[in-house]
Amino acid sequence: MAEPVRIPDAKVALSTASVYPESTATAFEIAARLGYDGVEVMVWTDPVSQDLEALRRLSDYHQIPILAVHAPCLLITQRVWSTDPWVKLQRAQAAAEKLGASTVVVHPPFRWQRQYARDFVTGIWRMANETDVRFAVENMFPWRYRDREMLAYAPDWDVTKDDYRHFTIDLSHSATSRTDALEMVDRMGDRLGHVHMADGKGSAKDEHLVPGRGSQPCAELLERLARTGFDGHVVIEVNTRRAMSAAEREADLAEALAFTRLHLASAVRVPRP
């Protein structure tokens, strides 16, 4: 008789970034139709992603919860929710609290944000101590062009070199940085609070492939999370901008969900009655 299958408590969410160039509203619709457990809202230039009432209405209409908020940390969001990075994080925290999300995902500062970078570790601890929302700091990567490398993030793109309460592991970023993702997860230990599930082949570009299409240990990580009883969120954050149609995009997101659910359902011995 086959061993019983234990499904971990981790919920599988869809990042709204995964439907780009489609809208935040489209992400909610797709997440609900495909059976995702929730969404992670990427706050960016789409006005709906910045509007808490609009997000609440989408969540209610589609009956799909908002599980996480990704603070506006990208180059293209430098003016979203203020030009002050601490104000951005305060607004992300407030959004998470009002929308019922448990996690704020944040990137380490760009190196040219000198004061912000200098205070980042202590500032994140201070904010984390003021709320039940998790601030999960995400691993990044060096920027590469041909044979040149630029360290664009500070204190470091490898966030395990600094002391944070919670981490996000992003497997596309580990591919781009050419880092052993499982070793990074080992360093994160029980402070791993959030996962961005994607894949990559080690290109200098941040690829965000559908899991299983690159070289990253996506299946191995998911199976490890299942064995260890991970109770955070696993967020599908893939690049579908090259999809030739809405149907092709949705097929990619369905495949990513199926892959993730399959490998989270690990054959673990469960006491028989």
Phi and psi torsions of 198, nearest 5°: -160, 180
Report yes or no on whether pTM surpasses 0.85: yes
pLDDT in tens, 30-45: 999 999 999 999 999 9
Whether 270 shows a pLDDT value over 60: the answer reads no
Residue 168 lies in a domain: yes
pLDDT in tens, 188-224: 999 999 999 999 998 888 999 999 999 999 999 999 9
Domain of residue 161: give its range: 5-265
Residue 14 lies in a domain: yes
Q: How many domains does one find in the chain?
A: 1
Residue 24, class by beta-carbon neighbours within 10 Å (0-12 exposed, 13-18 middle, 19+ buried)? buried
Residue 24 lies in a domain: yes
Residue 271 lies in a domain: no
Residue 68 lies in a domain: yes
99's enclosing H/E stretch is helix 85-99
pLDDT of residue 267: 47
Residue-averaged pLDDT of the chain: 93
Tokens representing residue 22 in the block: 């489609």
Distances (CA, A) of 97 to 94, 109, 120, 133: 5, 23, 21, 7
Residue 100 lies in a domain: yes
Average pLDDT over residues 38-56: 98
Residue 16 lies in a domain: yes
Q: What is the CATH number of the domain that holds 38?
A: 3.20.20.150
